[in-house]
Amino acid sequence: MLGREPKDFDVVTNARPEEIRKLFSRSRIIGRRFRLVHVRFGREIVEVATFRAVPRDVEETEPHDVEAELNDDETPEEEDAPPPPSDQNIFGTQEEDAVRRDFTVNALYYNIRDLSVMDYVGGVDDLRAGVIRIIGDPETRYREDPVRMLRAVRFAAKLGFRIEEKTAAPIHDLAELLATVSPARMFEEVLKLFHGGYAAETFEQLRRNGLFRYLFPLTEECMAGEGGTFPTLLVPRALANTDARVNEDKPVTPAFLFAAMLWEPARRRMQVDLARGRPYTEALTHAADVVLAEQLKHISVPRRFSTPMREIWDLQHRLEQPSASSALRLVTHPRFRAAYDFLLLCAETGGADPAMAKWWTDFQLKDEDGRREMTAALAPSPKKRRGRRRRGGRNRSPNSHPAIG
């Protein structure tokens, strides 16, 4: 309806999971909290859900996030086991299912019988008006599931819509509820926010609505009160770079995203340790430990991303102060390209020497002889003093020789 290609469809029916299972031989019922059916067609799996209704006789204690439920990755349930009691498995009509969804534009049904769009909540009008409107009382729905505040911002940024006034009104006051969401779920939400091709606009809306500080509190603290300085410029510039890569179908990695988000807090922590006399490498390692430990309270960062993030940081000092021998080795480092891109961002925003960034750009364009020519002009590598040591730790005299046996 917007002239865009949907990334997927949610398949939903009035048939119960057991009925769907009988209809398709290559299918299985999965989930305990939210039962649905995986139907296999060749290599594809189609998730089929049953219309749900809001519990009528019990107080709702679980959030009703349909998108999260349809991606439930709980251990598949035995197909012949009786369904467990769950508020999430109260089945209902299609209209009841629509009311459970979060936003009106996200609650439209495409009827494959007559190719019509079925709208129970005014979603078509809001779609045409470019409005994100929550279904039901905004404060109640946000308290059910605080992630809906992030989804409101994400949809608005992605579609270029505005958040309806009543839908937006409680967000500032309820933003602190994000602290109750599990860090693992927040990690998934952050990837949706910043790896969809509209990260720069999403970032602006998150800050405007008071949500960003509950995602990256240390980053927000560094940016608060800054005007046009390095920490304020680096993050939006990095996000704009990510958007460009996504829109050009180039790969992006959470490691680079978190490296950009957390670099200024880590850098400031490192400066404290350097002032106390700690060596650079030790200061950076300690700063990374401190910053990451605090960040993990809010967003889980799997080690497969936190490790390369730290490597990107570690390479910055080596890229800014290359020696004649280290330069040739650095370009073969598996994180060189990401670290180089990060150096360019820092140079563009006042956090690194632009001349050094240009040096590395030119260096990569040279052939082997050209690279050796450039490195010859660099300062030689500092030599490490090495002394032979006797067994037991004492230095040998210059004229002594090891015993032969």
**Active site (catalytic) residues:** 8, 10, 102
**Residues whose CB falls within 8 Å of the CB of residue 286, separated by 6 or more in sequence, listed in order:** 269, 270, 273, 278
Return d(Cα 257, Cα 269) in angstroms, integer.
19
Do 237 and 348 contact (CB within 8 A), yes or no? yes
Do 217 and 186 contact (CB within 8 A), yes or no? no
Instruction: Please tell me what DSSP assigns to residue 284.
Output: H
First vs last C-alpha separation in the chain: 85
264: left (phi over 0), alpha (psi -120 to 50) or beta: alpha
Instruction: Please tell me what DSSP assigns to residue 28.
Output: E
Return d(Cα 159, Cα 4) in angstroms, integer.
10
Give strand pairing partners of 135: none
Lookup result for tokens 């960034």:
357
Tell the burial category of 68 from Cβ atoms under 10 Å away from its Cβ (0-12, 13-18, 19+): middle
Q: Which contiguous run of DSSP H or E holds residue 269?
A: helix 254-275
Residue 316 neighbours by CB distance under 10 Å: 20
Closest CA to 321 of 334, 311, 312, 330: 330
Closest CA to 239 of 266, 269, 217, 219: 219
Residue 212, classed as helix, strand or coil, is helix
Task: For 120-267, list the strands marked E by DSSP.
Answer: 131-132, 162-163
Instruction: Please tell me what DSSP assigns to residue 335.
Output: T
Closest CA to 263 of 294, 296, 309: 309
Do 205 and 212 contact (CB within 8 A), yes or no? no
